[in-house]
Chains A and B, each alone.
Chain A
């Protein structure tokens, strides 16, 4: 069984460009969670999605950030007009059932975004 797959592993964008980060959940998992890890900080929750639905986006910046999890294909975290402060590691996790935070998650290897 493949784990949570994220790509690309590394992404370099110039200020003002768009960044698209992809997350393919584990087989059979229909719930995806995105977290961001800024340098020298712990992981911070961004958004929780089910197939075709955003359940909780309380950790997403109000502007420039969006996420989707379509019926088919991976979940996408999209950052428009990137700024240097967006440079971070972005991780996703998945679960087969809702609200599995009680038990803990399997995370992907992450996408490291560098804005130059």
Chain B
């Protein structure tokens, strides 16, 4: 069975401080991993996916198969980064996507 764990419900950081949102997964095959973000009063939207290996809004995430992790990082937090972040796993194809419980990031001015 596939599982996604986000251990922190809330992460508070000061503006300009580094951010790391943790995500660990459990899956026997080679999954696709995603980060979704939901800003206040907005829809859930894709932030990035591991196969793209790109930086979006200064965020990056590296898939570590040895540690089964896909942590989201940003070197310098900005106030507009405050949002709810969800890590998600897909086995690929048209199979079920599993979401983590989400981490609320609060950037303190």
- A and B held together in a complex: no
